[in-house]
Amino acid sequence: MSRIPADVRDLADASLGLLRQALANHPRICYASSLGAESVVLTDLLWSELPQIEVFTIDTGRLFPQTRDLIERIQRHYGRRLKIYSPDAAAVESWVARHGIDGFRSGTDQRRSCCQVRKIEPFRRAIAGYDAWVTGIRSGQSVQRARAQPLAWDPDHGLYKVSPLLAWSEEQVWSYIRARELPYNTLHDLGFPSIGCAPCTRAVAAGEDPRSGRWWWEREESRECGLHPRLPALVSG
């Protein structure tokens, strides 16, 4: 990590320290990669230093082509595969039959139920049997995330949640990616700071809230997919 600026290297060391502390107390840990810029950093830290933490992602069936391309480039870069979970096909068929192919635009309830079928259900399958899951959220991303804790009990999913990147700024994330010459989603170069499913993500103008391009037709406080639905309780370790 010699080309990484000192402040970013210190952050990376602190993130790895938190992950090692979490592993000491909770040996079965997985990482849910969103394939965003933060995920690129975390995947690099894990596959370089802590390969025993499984990295998985969810192919909702509505990802951008650029996101699918990133999966391929990450796998080529490291010479190993991401574990990919997909939604239950029958559940997707049933949801589409009831709401329409883009029925998530009809209201917050419909949008959340789509996220439930395409993201939350496969996520629950993915974390089954684990003691803790890792997330790449940062404090600066939203009002809710600003109040998250590095290690916390996640009452919604029944395991611990480790957030090693909370203290990182967006600039520090990109400084790490550039220094390490890591593959990243090319949509980031086109004004997409936060990337989810294609029909639910749009570019934002410079200086706008980075998450304002996600579900932009909803109020800010409802703009989470359900993986980070409420503030978890702080735990000591």
Q: Which residues bind ligand SF4 (CB under 6 A)?
A: 60, 62, 104, 111, 114-115, 118-119, 196-197, 199-200, 225
CB of 16 to ligand SF4, least distance (A): 31
Pick 181 or 219: Cβ nearer ligand SF4: 219
Q: Residue with the closest Cβ to ligand SF4?
A: 197
- Annotated catalytic residue: which of 30, 114, 115, 225? 225
- HEC-encoded secondary structure of the chain: CCCCCHHHHHHHHHHHHHHHHHHHHCCCEEEEECCCHHHHHHHHHHHHHCCCCEEEEECCCCECHHHHHHHHHHHHHHCCCCEEECCCHHHHHHHHHHHCCCHHHHCHHHHHHHHHHHHHHHHHHHHCCCCEEECCCCHHHCCCHHHCCCEEEECCCCEEEECCCCCCCHHHHHHHHHHHCCCCCHHHHHCCCCCCEHHHECCCCCCCCHHHHECCCCCHHHCCCCCCCCCCEECCC
**Cβ of residue 199: shortest distance to ligand SF4, in angstroms?**
6
Find the shortest distance in angstroms from Cβ 21 to ligand SF4. Answer: 32
* Closer residue to ligand SF4 in complex, CB, 151/187: 187
Q: CB of 177: closest distance to ligand SF4 in angstroms?
A: 24
- Of 70 and 225, which has the nearer Cβ to ligand SF4? 225
* Residue among 172 and 201 whose Cβ is closer to ligand SF4: 201
Confirm whether 200 is a catalytic residue: no
Q: Which residues are catalytic?
A: 225
